[in-house]
Structure 1
Amino acid sequence: MQIRKGTEADIPAIVELLKSSLGEGLIQKSERLWNWKHIENPHGASPVLVAEEDGKVVGVRAFLKWQWAYKGKILQAIRAVDTATHPDYQGKGIFKKLTLQGLEDAKKDGIHLVYNTPNDNSKPGYLKMGWVEQGRMALKLKVNPFAYKKDKLPVIPDQNWVRLSAALPQFSNPISNTGQIHTFLSPEYISWRYQNNPLFDYHFLSDHRSFVLFFRIKKHSFGSEMRVVDLFINDAVFDLKAKKELNRQFREVSKACFLTSASGRHFELVGKKYPVFGFIPVVNKGPIVTLRNVGLPDSEFNALVEASNWGYALGDMELF
């Protein structure tokens, strides 16, 4: 069996392997999704490793590139995401071989850390390979009992992406003024992540001048969820009038949703910029976050293990 770097020529076989190993599930597998996620990413193309036997791709491991800004430094990170082993080859240690080779390659390529949000089944394997558990993501929640099990979807305001694109350079993440870790922001990143996402339909609230709030609507058995994934502000003009307009637009959408959610860390740090979320306190009920040091001094990595040093929004950590 050969472990080698994946190429674009492998993509059809990789997609078929993902389907045969994982099924379609909630996230459909396709070449379009793979290309958007692993090639078009403005943070950089994903390092991909495949296991090959007799000319057949029987295992794959992809690491999504991400850039985090922290104390004037850009942290080069990868997220352990798409991985699969053909059903006929499971139990032969392919996952571990691909992961360890990926870590070795990452160190040579100047990557600082790996992060991911494993489930209960995969977490023990990561911990054995040197990952460290940070804890569960904090969430800020708003509940509207009047929308319980209501089928009516919220009315989405006009989505003029062309107009918004012209305004994007004016906006910044309010976290950038707090010193906490946040995604390195660019208009290209925002367009890639939300406008051109082939997996989910993302929407925005904005006055095209002082704020833009990105969200998506997710259907549940209990009704709709408004998932607030990012909030960007133009501090120079975000005043009381702008905050009232953000609240107005937010109410129009959230009133049709039983649940509204946002990152607890983001909300705790810049809650005054957020629309009104109600009285429910921040709760640590999100996915478990794990980290793996690759190329940082221990003192710098240990600081990253502390959740209090992070200011991620849901859009930074959402699986896609």
Structure 2
Amino acid sequence: MQIRKGTEADIPAIVELLKSSLGEGLIQKSERLWNWKHVENPHGASPVLVAEADGQVVGVRAFLRWQWVYKGQILQAIRAVDTATHPAFQGKGVFKKLTLQGLADAKENGIHLVYNTPNESSKPGYLKMGWIEMSRMALKLKVNPFAYKRQDIPEAPPQDWQKLVILLPQLSNPIVMTDKVHTLLSPSYIQWRYQDNPLFDYYFLSDYHSYVLFYRIKSHSFGQEMRVVDLLTDEKTLDKKAKNALKASFREISNACFLTSASGRHFELTSGVYPGMGLLPVLDKGPIVTLRNVSLQEEMFNELSKQENWGYALGDMELF
């Protein structure tokens, strides 16, 4: 068995391996999705490793590129995401070999850290390979019992992406001045992440002047969830009138949903900007976040291992 870098020619075989090993699940596998996620990402193309036996791709490990900013420094990161092993080769250490080779390549290529959100069954394997558990993601939740079991999707306001694209260069993440870890944003990232996303329909609320709030609607058995994934503002023009406009349009969508969710960290750090999110406290009830140092100084990595130094939005951490 040979471990090598994946190429464009491997994509059809990789997609078929993901389908046969993992099934379709909630996220359908396709070459279009793979290319959007791993080739077109503005943060950079994903490092991909494959295990090959007798000319057949029997294992794959992809690391999604991501750029974080902390205290003015751009952190080059990768997220351990798509991985699969052919059923005939499971239990033979393929996953570990691919992961360890990926870490070695990452250090050589100037990557600073790896992060991911494993489930309880996969977490022990990561911890054995040097990952550390940071904590569970902090969530801010709002519950509207009057919308329990309501299945109709709230209608979004008119979505003028062309008009929004003109505004995006003027907007920024409102936590930038807090020196907390946040995604390096750009108009091309926003378009890739939300407008061109082949997996989910994302919507936005905006006055096309001072703010944009991105969200998606997720259906559950208990009703609809409004998931707030990003909030960008122009602090110079975000006045009381703009905040009231955001509050009114937000309330209209949120009140049609049983659950509204947002990042607890983002909410806490920008509480003066977020529209009303109810009285429930911020809870550490989200997915487990794990980190692996690659090339950072120990002092810096220790700082990053504490959730209070992060200011992620849900769009930064959402698994896709």
TM-score, normalised to structure 2, is 1.00
- Three-state SS of the structure 1 residue aligned to 2:101 is helix
Equivalent residue, structure 2, for 1:86: 86
Deviation at 1:255, TM superposition (A): 1.0
Equivalent residue, structure 1, for 2:150: 150
Deviation at 1:72, TM superposition (A): 1.1
**1:119 paired to 2:111:** no
**1:268 paired to 2:273:** no
Checking the alignment, whether the CA contact within 8 Å between 1:155 and 1:252 is kept in structure 2 is: no
Aligned residue type for 1:68: W
Structure 1 residue ranges, 4+ long, deviating more than 2 angstroms after superposition: none
Deviates more, 1:146-155 or 1:71-80: 146-155
Aligned residue type for 2:250: F
Equivalent residue, structure 2, for 1:64: 64
Per-residue deviation, residues 126-153 of structure 1 (Å, max 9, x unmatched): 0000000001000000010100001222
CA RMSD of aligned residues (A): 0.4
Aligned residue type for 1:194: Y
Report matched runs for 1:46-57 at 5 Å: 46-57=46-57
- Three-state SS of the structure 1 residue aligned to 2:270 is helix
Report matched runs for 1:208-247 at 5 Å: 208-247=208-247
Per-residue deviation, residues 62-112 of structure 1 (Å, max 9, x unmatched): 000000011111000000000000011100000000000000000000000
Q: Matches of 2:11 and 2:208 in 1, distance apart?
A: 38
Equivalent residue, structure 2, for 1:179: 179
Unaligned 5+ runs, structure 2? none
Equivalent residue, structure 1, for 2:192: 192
Q: Matches of 2:151 and 2:91 in 1, distance apart?
A: 44
Q: Matches of 2:151 and 2:42 in 1, distance apart?
A: 37
Equivalent residue, structure 2, for 1:317: 317
Report matched runs for 1:290-301 at 5 Å: 290-301=290-301
Equivalent residue, structure 2, for 1:12: 12
Deviation at 1:252, TM superposition (A): 1.1
Q: Matches of 1:194 and 1:62 in 2, distance apart?
A: 21
Unaligned 5+ runs, structure 1? none
- Three-state SS of the structure 1 residue aligned to 2:172 is coil
Aligned residue type for 2:297: P
Q: Matches of 1:153 and 1:115 in 2, distance apart?
A: 33
Q: Matches of 1:272 and 1:72 in 2, distance apart?
A: 23
Aligned residue type for 1:104: A
Checking the alignment, whether the CA contact within 8 Å between 1:48 and 1:61 is kept in structure 2 is: yes
Per-residue deviation, residues 221-258 of structure 1 (Å, max 9, x unmatched): 00000000000000010010000000011011111100
Q: Matches of 1:83 and 1:149 in 2, distance apart?
A: 35
